[in-house]
Structure 1
């Protein structure tokens, strides 16, 4: 049988753990997006629950970056996204140095800023993991989804927009800081 007549296995069957991981992250980020949009003013228990979800998801994202680094080390032709590594590192820095040690700040003055982070990260994470999941299960993500993922994850305007929606404009930042 000629080589072009053989059917290649779908990528999902070669990486079932990666497919399940992307599906898990997609479901969790969708859940956080819905919670951030539906609940107008969540209480302290809900905020700490969001923080727990984000901590777990960002921990998994750090493991994902480590996995990509090992793949790049073992196979020089492997793909390594340094922009994704930088974003994951920055989010982990925020989660582990500000949010986890000082949860009281999230419950007080930082409530709106935290909800802005949750909304921005969850929308970007939902689109990112939807694209990754579709790329593994269906021979590549749709071009429109890839374009939306590129624009939203690389755009600062989404974070600014989410902050303005949550905080009611720039007056919320000035009032919270001073």
Structure 2
């Protein structure tokens, strides 16, 4: 698997870490200079942060949660419209909500790799009307609540990529 830019890698690193994607995971972490923990430790912490923790999920990876305090809200519908504007149907290959951080980062990477006047406008909208409005809150919670230095460093890298370019 070849990654064209840093947003492809960031997208991969925000997927659930499992054996079938561990090589791209390792390559991306290495590209960023991140020290990857053992797979089991990574899976446990990913699950605790992003999937389930008692009494609630610590850092839901969905834009709609951070902007509307609900899952699958108006921002989810808005992001689906941006995908549709590029004739992208993520429902075929993606089995999570369209406003998951990994999906939005992969979309940003796609827009960078397929640059046109129209895609440039959509990329700016994705950044200004979506990513920049929630990623800082998401990353702040990760940095304050993670048990692994890896996720702290990954969230710092994500913030720098979104807010500093």
Shared fold (TM-score, shorter chain, > 0.5)? no
Give the structure-1-normalised TM-score.
0.32
1 or 2, which has the higher helix percentage?
1
Give the structure-2-normalised TM-score.
0.34
Higher relative contact order (CA 8 A, sep 6+): 1
Larger Rg: 1
